[in-house]
Structure 1
């Protein structure tokens, strides 16, 4: 059940260079993903980012497509969009858990992405979350990707280097003796 709790949203980051985003969409519930994509487009426009869109068969294919595109080096960030509505079988749990886990693993590898795959109990819940004038989860996923792009650029611009006096030993080396 949704509550009327107010949530804080970060302002969009200021980006010093153009950003190229890719939205990977699983359009199984096309009306829902169209709403999510509208939110992504508005957020990308507000940030001055360019946006490409591709479609894949389902939510389980989204992480693979993101991984392939990330390795291409053509994009700065990614937005995953889809909708999984609980049905009569455990397939819902598999799709939700595996797509989320795979996206998390991509993020831990340094891929800047926002997860806009809705996991809901009913179509009505999906409609509220996908509506750009409602919860705007598509716009939120795009904002998350943009924030991660900004962080990645910030940290790439200020690499940490070992000082000349720092001693770095490899595993198995003893002080003053080289390898053990």
Structure 2
């Protein structure tokens, strides 16, 4: 059983300037969502960051809320939280696959998102995964977002000189590469 295995956890990233994250949670199963949020908030605070939280009706709305926030605000990253428990219909598969796919696509476009939407077979599995003293998947999702923010900050300012450069920028780059010029 996965709950008894030990897994390697990356060291918490450190930041020169504080990070600000948005936690987007679908509180359909309120007690589970509250535990996920508590774990995420603790991880963000431990990294010296701050966070805001919004609630949406369900897991399918989480990616949409993140997209809206990304267009309208200044968050460094996002934590997606919620829980989907298998029921009697195929709606479970749709919600799990579509919310995960949307979050992944936004991540591939450059957003720093930790996905902590639990997809489980039963309530007991959700409780164990959400518990901050057990699997703490909310904290893990926040940690994932923080690591992605750290990578973005590390590589975000670097340029390899590929692609279109405005004429004034190209001249500055050429001058800096060739040293002083003489007339």
TM range, smaller chain? 0.7 to 0.9
Give the length in aligned residue pairs: 164
Q: How far is the alpha carbon of 1:18 from its aligned partner?
A: 1.1
Q: How does 1:1-180 map to 2 (within 5 A)?
A: 1-162=1-162
2:28–2:57 Cα contact (<8 Å) kept: yes
TM-score normalised by L of structure 1: 0.88
Give, in whole Å, the separation in 2 of the partners of 1:120 and 1:42: 23
TM-score normalised by L of structure 2: 0.87
Higher-helix-fraction structure: 2
2:3–2:135 Cα contact (<8 Å) kept: no
- RMSD over equivalenced CA pairs, Å: 1.2
5+ long unaligned stretches in structure 1:
165-180
Question: 1:59 is paired with a residue of what secondary structure?
Answer: coil
5+ long unaligned stretches in structure 2:
163-172, 175-183
Q: How far is the alpha carbon of 1:3 from its aligned partner?
A: 4.8
Question: 1:111 is paired with a residue of what secondary structure?
Answer: coil
Give, in whole Å, the separation in 2 of the partners of 1:69 and 1:91: 26
2:35–2:138 Cα contact (<8 Å) kept: yes
Q: How far is the alpha carbon of 1:16 from its aligned partner?
A: 1.0
Q: How far is the alpha carbon of 1:161 from its aligned partner?
A: 1.6
Give, in whole Å, the separation in 2 of the partners of 1:50 and 1:42: 10
Question: 1:71 is paired with a residue of what secondary structure?
Answer: helix
Aligned to 2:167: none
Give, in whole Å, the separation in 2 of the partners of 1:7 and 1:118: 18
2:79–2:141 Cα contact (<8 Å) kept: yes
Give, in whole Å, the separation in 2 of the partners of 1:3 and 1:60: 27
Superposed structure 1 runs of 4+ greater than 3 Å apart: none
State the Cα deviation string for residues 43-87 of structure 1 (Å, max 9, x = none).
011001001000000000000000111112410000000000000
